[in-house]
Structure formats: C-alpha cells, structure tokens
C-alpha cells in the first residue's frame, strides 16, 4: 500500500509540473467563429454577381423594347425600381470589402444602362454659326406665359411645338413667325420658307406628323423639322385593363409605330436640302428598337452634350426621355438641358448646336 501510494503522489506531482494549456478568451472564440466561412456567407458573393446578371439582363431586355411585348412594358415602366435589389444588398458590402466590386458593377449598369444617365461631356471648342432650339409637347396644358419665360431666358432661334392650342401660341411667342398644321407647330425669329407637312391618315381626317421649313440663320439655311410620332400608350393601356389578353393590340401598335417612324425618317431625308435638325416628341427613348432601327444615323443632342437623366416626360411615379433634338453630320452639340415645368407633363428640351468644323470648311 505504501509503495502504490508513493507512485500516485509522484504522478500527481509530475502532472502539476506541466505548463497549463492556453485557454482562449470568450472574445477570441467569438472572433474565430466569425472568421470561419459558413455555408451561408459563401453564397453572398454569388448572390451579388447574380444581381449584376439581373441588371444586365434587364438592360438587354429594355433594348428590345418596341420589338417585343414584355421588353416594351419594361422599357416604358418605372426604371428606377431596378435599383431596389442593389440597395437592398449594399449594407453587406460594408462587412466584406470583396463585395464592393459586384456592387459597383451592378450600380453602373443600372445608372448608365437602364437609366441612360449621361456623364459630363468634354466642352466643345467655340466656333461660329450657333443655333439654339427649344422643343416642347404642350399637351394642351402648357402655360403660355411660363413657356414665354423659358424662351426669353434661352433666346432660341427656332422652337418646335407639339400638342399646342394655336390660340395660345401668339402669347407664348409674340412677334415670331409661326406655322401650324393642327397641333403641330414650328416657330422662328426669322421668316421661314418652303413649309411642308407629312400627315398620317386618321378615321376622322389626318394628323400632321412632321412639319418642315427652311429657315435662314447665322449658320446659313437650316432644314428644320418639328416631329410628333404616335405613342406606345395606345398599346399599353388596353393591357392595363385586359391583361395579357390584349397583347395583340400592343403588337399592332409596335408595327404601326415602326412603319410611321420609317416613313418619317425617309421623308425627312428627302427634304434635307440643307444642314438638318429634327426636334420634337418621338414618344420613344433612344434605346428603343424602333428608334435604333430608324434614327441611329442621326446624333442625339442630349447624349452628345447633356448631363444627367434628361427626363422630358413625367408620370406621377417616374420620368423618361422621349423628346429629342437630332442633328446630322453638319452640326455638333454644344449644350443640352431640360427646362422647368411649364404646366405640361413634358418639359422643354433646350439645345445649342454649332456648325461642325468640317461643314464650315466645306462651305
């Protein structure tokens, strides 16, 4: 018994001489648990890149707007809503820096692609022969006195007007030379000549779609066109009431508007004997399939010299840029901006052009 007891005592003494095992603090234990990637956290980067793919798919689909039913509904709907998934995941990027890249890519696709945001452009070197143009769809609600203030501030040479009551134009443009055909008008500070109109038949008559005139300016004679194309709303509104049972009406609208746009573009080219400018309500954004098919040979003033979203048409929930000033190779855009609210659901688009250096040398 004495021998066995002595062995136990010596073993206990040996164990007590060993250094104590290090014990992790509770804080360090929590940190190590967070540092270990869990199955859920491993999915987070994948979700972010899926958001990038979603934004890219929506952008691509919108470029099929005015060609297919669903893309058309996307293109003319609230584009800002596609920011929601980006914003919803943004806080996680503060936790993991690696998520910053897909977040930035998704935001760029939304802003520059889906929203068509225009970054600032390089300033155009000043040259001779400038012309300022204002276009506005008055929607019969524009306040003439408010529009006159815009005109007095911008000092345009030419004004394109759509959906205006002719009785209100005299007070909006006092002392101007104005030509109208129905609700489509063209005004100039100087006399105009060779006025012509392209009309489309309607059940109760016809509607002026394009009006042109030759206007003599400091830049020389200008072939100017005021345009008002038909709206996609006539195809979308039946779907709001009847759902997808009314898709045939939207398809018919797309076919009609493409044919109308093609006819207008061809007529304008045939009447462009001088450097040409086209201004008005195209009722489509520049990423529309119809627009790209029929108007891509022209330069868009806001995309050339504007900054921001440039929305010219507003609903209660969103805006869209469907009013444009286009110009041929004889011009370059100097400035383009959207004016203030004057009572219409459209805003004035104010653009300054100057003759391109090559065109001036050619003269």
pLDDT, tens digit (0-9, with 9 covering 90-100), for 19-44: 555 554 444 444 444 444 444 566 88
Quick check: 229 pLDDT over 80?
yes
pTM: 0.86
DSSP state of 123: P
Confidence at residue 15, expressed as pLDDT on a 0 to 100 scale = 41
Where is mean pLDDT largest: 13-27, 165-179, 321-335, 346-360? Answer: 321-335
Farthest-apart Cα atoms in the chain, separation: 131
What is the 8-class DSSP label of residue 288? Answer: S
Q: What is the pLDDT, as a whole number, of residue 360?
A: 55
**What is the per-residue pLDDT for 162?**
97
Contacts of 235 (CB under 8 A, 6+ apart): 72, 249, 250, 251, 252, 253, 254
What does the DSSP 8-state code read for residue 67?
T
CB 321 within 8 A of CB 311: yes
Smallest Cα–Cα separation from 177: which of 187, 168, 185, 167? 187
């Amino acid at each position: 018994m004495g021998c066995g007891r002595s062995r136990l005592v010596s073993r206990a003494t040996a164990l007590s001489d060993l250094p104590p095992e290090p014990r992790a603090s509770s804080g360090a234990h929590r940190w190590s648990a967070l540092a270990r990637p869990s199955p859920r956290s491993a999915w987070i980067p994948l979700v972010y890149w899926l958001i990038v793919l979603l934004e890219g798919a929506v952008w691509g689909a919108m470029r099929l707007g005015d060609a297919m039913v669903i893309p058309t509904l996307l293109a003319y709907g609230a584009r800002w809503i596609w920011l929601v998934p980006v914003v919803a995941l943004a806080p996680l990027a503060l936790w993991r820096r690696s998520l910053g890249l897909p977040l930035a890519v998704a935001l760029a696709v939304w802003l520059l692609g889906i929203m068509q945001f225009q970054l600032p452009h390089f300033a155009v070197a000043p040259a001779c022969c400038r012309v300022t143009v204002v276009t506005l769809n008055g929607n019969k609600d524009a306040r003439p006195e408010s529009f006159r203030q815009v005109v007095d501030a911008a000092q345009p040479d030419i004004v394109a007007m759509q959906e205006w009551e002719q009785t209100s134009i005299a007070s909006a443009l006092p002392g101007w030379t104005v030509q109208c055909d129905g609700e489509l008008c063209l005004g100039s500070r100087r006399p105009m000549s060779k006025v012509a109109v392209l009309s489309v038949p309607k059940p109760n008559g016809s509607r002026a779609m394009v009006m042109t005139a030759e206007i003599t300016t400091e830049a020389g004679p200008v072939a100017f066109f005021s345009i008002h194309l038909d709206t996609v709303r006539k195809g979308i509104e039946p779907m709001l009431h009847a759902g997808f049972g009314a898709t045939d009406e939207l398809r018919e609208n797309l076919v009609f508007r493409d044919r109308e746009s093609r006819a207008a573009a061809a007529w304008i080219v045939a009447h462009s004997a001088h450097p040409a400018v086209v201004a008005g309500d195209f009722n489509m954004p520049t990423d529309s399939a119809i627009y790209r098919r029929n108007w891509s040979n022209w330069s868009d003033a806001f995309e050339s010299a504007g900054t921001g979203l440039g929305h010219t048409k507003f609903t209660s929930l969103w805006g869209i840029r469907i009013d444009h000033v286009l110009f041929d190779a004889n011009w370059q855009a100097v400035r383009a901006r959207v004016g203030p609210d004057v009572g219409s659901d459209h805003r004035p688009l104010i653009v300054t052009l100057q003759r391109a250096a090559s065109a001036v040398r050619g003269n």
